[in-house]
Amino acid sequence: MPESLAGLLFVASLALALVVVHRPLGEALHWIATSPRDLALERWAYRLVGADPKSEQSWSAYARSVLAFSAVSVLFLYGLLRVQQRLWLSLGFPGAAPDQAWNTAVSFVTNTNWQSYSGESTMGYLVQMSGLAVQNFVSAAVGIAIAFALIRGFARTASNSLGNFWVDLTRICLRLLLPVAVAGAIIFIAAGMVQNLSPGADITRWLETASTSPGGLWRARR
């Protein structure tokens, strides 16, 4: 298939997916942003961080919460990458160099996810699970929370409050991103995707021309 056609099909499929999910997804986001009740797990998370779910924040307090959470996330991920060689499931990989660790931490916390390395030969499983994958969740949640605050700012012309960042962050993770991730994981498991904590295995594939198949045969050797 030509690359141009593949690109057009991808854009078309993405647009179709957005048309299909925009109504239920929009209603789910509205429920997350406006629900007066908190789940038991959410209340536990609020106590953990010392947040009052009934207290809303001004724009400056909301912004400070976003910056403080992001700063702590960058420092935690940077430290995790630097001491990787001492951690469980490091797979024998050394800790990331200072510039590499800083670049990776900032990019994942800002949801850029810029990777200037090969993940399979650089990052151990613990770093990927407790560092990079966590930021895939919470950095996306931070972006959605900021969108919530922006919408409230337009809608609440007579109010100085924009909601509570900690409530928004917790609800987005637990009510939206985690359920979507679980559903995606079930689909991958049903499709037979391999997921374990064993070291990686090298697989070599080559194309063998066959007279019975114009396109040839793909064979794999492990």
In tens, the pLDDT along 34-46 reads: 998 999 999 999 9
Average pLDDT over residues 57-85: 94
pLDDT interval class at 205 (50, 70, 90): low
Q: Are 105 and 77 in contact (CB under 8 A)?
A: yes
Q: Are 122 and 101 in contact (CB under 8 A)?
A: no
Question: Cα–Cα distance between 110 and 101 in angstroms, integer?
Answer: 14
Cα distances (Å, whole numbers) of residue 110 to 15, 67, 137, 196: 25, 11, 11, 28
Most confident among 105-109, 154-158, 201-205 (mean pLDDT): 105-109
> Any idea what the Cα angle at residue 108 is, between residues 8 and 44, rounded to 5°?
115
Give the per-residue pLDDT at 119: 66
Average pLDDT over residues 57-79: 95
pLDDT for 96 beyond 90: no
Give the per-residue pLDDT at 5: 87
Taking the CA atoms of 27, 31, 33 and 39 in sequence, report the sign of the dihedral they define.
negative
Tokens of 194: 């391999």
Question: Residue 111 contacts by C-beta under 8 Å, 6 or more apart in sequence?
Answer: 135, 139, 140, 142, 143
pLDDT: which is higher, 67 or 124: 67
pLDDT interval class at 216 (50, 70, 90): very low
pLDDT for 84 beyond 70: yes
Q: DSSP secondary-structure letter at 119?
A: G
The domains of the chain are located at: 19-221
pLDDT for 189 beyond 80: yes
Give the per-residue pLDDT at 171: 95
Pairing of strands 204-210, 213-221: antiparallel
Give the per-residue pLDDT at 222: 39
Name 220's bridge partners. 205
